[in-house]
Amino acid sequence: MSAYIPNTASQKHKMLSEIGVASVDDLFSDIPESVRLKRKLDLPEAKPEMELVRHMSQMARKNCNTDEYTCFLGAGAYDHYIPSVVRHIISRQEFYTAYTPYQPEISQGTLQAIFEYQTMICRLTGMDVSNASMYDGASALAEAASMACSVTRRKEVLIPECVHPEYREVLSTYARFAGYKVVVSSIKDGRTDINDIESKISDDTAAVIIQNPNFFGAIEDIEEMEEIAHKNKSLVIACCDPISLAILKSPGEAGADIAVGEGQSLGNPLSYGGPYLGFFAAKKELMRKMPGRIVGETVDREGKRGFVLTLQTREQHIRREKATSNICSNQSLNALSAAVYLTVMGKKGLKEVALLSAQKAHYAYEQLIKTGLFEPAFNMPFFREFVLRYKYDVAELNKKLIEKKIIGGYELGKTYPDLKDGWLLAVTEKRTREDIDRLVREVVSL
């Protein structure tokens, strides 16, 4: 009956008689009568492909998309350009219909691509080892915190309020159930208040977390934090934006022990929040405590180079309740997108993307300030995202901009009551001068 079942009724009959049962119901005799569903599922009738496409296209059209609307929204998900090559490569069935590479001899494509991904992530972050990916930036951060607690045998992590609110929320959820404490430190002028870190750090602190650029787009001083943390024998977890790493000091250079972050902007569409990928990299010493899959290089029987999943004694299928994490499926195809993106952008291109974004963001910042309707919220260097305080109502402003086909900034009042008038804007290399000028014109005309 279903389009995706090839066996015909007569084939099924033949198979049943070979098995030696009268009907397919006989194969379900182990299911007690009392727990069988004695009616049809209450679902819509099956839609043939043509109707399905019509139905879902109509649904999709109810959303405003970033091709038709000019997007100045970031806050953890960014509208960077995705070169055409990325989609072509990840749409190859050999990649996207494969399972986790348990059989390395027929999975060298996935394995080598992930090995290359791990290498690129390490080169970007300045770390020694990377895993094959995590679910997203937030869960990667939470896993890093859990790992820090296990490595240091301490029960607390310190995190400033200027880390992405959703990351803090995910961290709190993981921590509550795993049994460690999340201590929140305060902000000063849009950045981590280093004095508050100093006053809150203790013998219980397993790790200090820093996001760079932070949720407000401001560039943090990881080195300053590193000194305090390491003096206290706490680890430093840097949560980084991967595009910014083309120009900003890497976590490795700044002395961090673990680097995590959201990899969406490396070739993954916004897709209403997922699937994205979390990247997770660390110093060599932490290798055997890392969560998730890791690919390693080896040789085959004839000495030829090949790749396998390795250090598996950390993982759930071997160690069960003693594993370093419960993660099994990760975001492999998204990691492949990131690898292809970093390959085609390359050493020069990624830097250009970062520089263009920074130039345009600073231009937008200047132009908006010039209108007299905004004031800078902080006096801090930023990369591609910044906070302005608006004279009037931010929600109202965003509503009016939507009518003009502009997706405005993130309303900070939603998560930071002190910043009710705060508007967090992101400007990527995709925004043209005309896009920015139009935003300014529309804002002024309201």
Partner 1 sequence: MKKKDKSLIFEMSVPGRKAVTLPDCDVPYTDISNLIPGKFIRETEAELPEVSEVDAVRHYTRLSQMNYGVDSGFYPLGSCTMKYNPKVNEDMANLDGFAKVHPYQPEETVQGCLELLYETDRMLSEITGMDRVSLQPAAGAHGEMTGLMIIKAYHENRGDFKRKKIIVPDSAHGTNPASAAITGFDVSEVKSDERGGVDIEALKSLMNDEVAGLMLTNPNTLGLFEENIVKIAEVVHAAGGLLYYDGANANAIVGISRPGDMGFDVVHLNLHKTFSTPHGGGGPGSGPVGVKKDLIPFLPEPVIEKNESGYYLDYNRPLSIGKVRSFYGNFGVVVKAYAYICSLGANGFKDVAQTSVLNANYIMHKLKEYYKLPYDRICMHEVVFSGQKQKDMGASTLDIAKRLLDYGYHPPTIYFPLIVKEALMIEPTETESKETLDEFIDAMIKISEEIKEEPEKVKGAPYTTSVLRLDEAKAARDPKLIHTQ
Nearest distance from C-beta of residue 341 to partner 1, angstroms: 9
Q: Is the peptide bond before 417 cis (omega within 30 degrees of 0)?
A: no
Nearest distance from C-beta of residue 184 to partner 1, angstroms: 14
Nearer to partner 1, 203 or 321 (CB): 321
Torsion of CA 69, 74, 80, 82, to 10 degrees: -80
User: Could you tell me the sign of the dihedral formed by the alpha carbons of 254, 260, 264, 266, in that order?
Assistant: positive
What letters, b where the CB count within 10 A reaches 16 and e where it falls short, cover 385-408? bbbbbbeeebeebbebbeebebbb
Nearest distance from C-beta of residue 437 to partner 1, angstroms: 9
Euclidean distance between CA atoms 76 and 330, whole angstroms: 19
Nearer to partner 1, 199 or 408 (CB): 408
Q: Is the peptide bond before 213 cis (omega within 30 degrees of 0)?
A: yes
- Note whether 175 and 190 are within 8 A (CB): no
Nearest distance from C-beta of residue 246 to partner 1, angstroms: 6
Nearest distance from C-beta of residue 238 to partner 1, angstroms: 13
Q: Which of 143, 128, 164, 358 is nearest to 237 (CA)?
A: 143
- Note whether 384 and 356 are within 8 A (CB): no
Euclidean distance between CA atoms 38 and 365, whole angstroms: 63
Nearest distance from C-beta of residue 173 to partner 1, angstroms: 4
Nearer to partner 1, 18 or 203 (CB): 18
Give 237's contacts (C-beta < 8 A, 6+ positions apart): 141, 144, 145, 148, 157, 207, 208, 209, 210, 256, 257, 258, 259, 260
- Note whether 152 and 233 are within 8 A (CB): yes
Nearest distance from C-beta of residue 153 to partner 1, angstroms: 16
3-state SS of 71-90 is: ECCCCCCCCCCCCHHHHHHH
Nearer to partner 1, 12 or 233 (CB): 12
Nearest distance from C-beta of residue 372 to partner 1, angstroms: 20
Euclidean distance between CA atoms 293 and 311, whole angstroms: 8
Nearest distance from C-beta of residue 145 to partner 1, angstroms: 12
Nearer to partner 1, 120 or 229 (CB): 120
- Note whether 129 and 118 are within 8 A (CB): yes
Query: Considering just the CA atoms, what is the radius of gyration of the chain in Å?
Result: 25
Nearer to partner 1, 66 or 199 (CB): 66
Nearer to partner 1, 206 or 233 (CB): 206
Give 434's contacts (C-beta < 8 A, 6+ positions apart): none
Nearer to partner 1, 77 or 199 (CB): 77
- Note whether 104 and 307 are within 8 A (CB): yes
Nearest distance from C-beta of residue 77 to partner 1, angstroms: 6
Nearer to partner 1, 199 or 223 (CB): 223
- What residue has token string 């070739």? 267
Nearer to partner 1, 208 or 412 (CB): 412
Nearest distance from C-beta of residue 148 to partner 1, angstroms: 14
Euclidean distance between CA atoms 149 and 435, whole angstroms: 46
Nearer to partner 1, 79 or 257 (CB): 79
Q: Which two tokens stand for residue 107?
A: 């999975």
Nearest distance from C-beta of residue 218 to partner 1, angstroms: 10
Nearer to partner 1, 233 or 340 (CB): 340
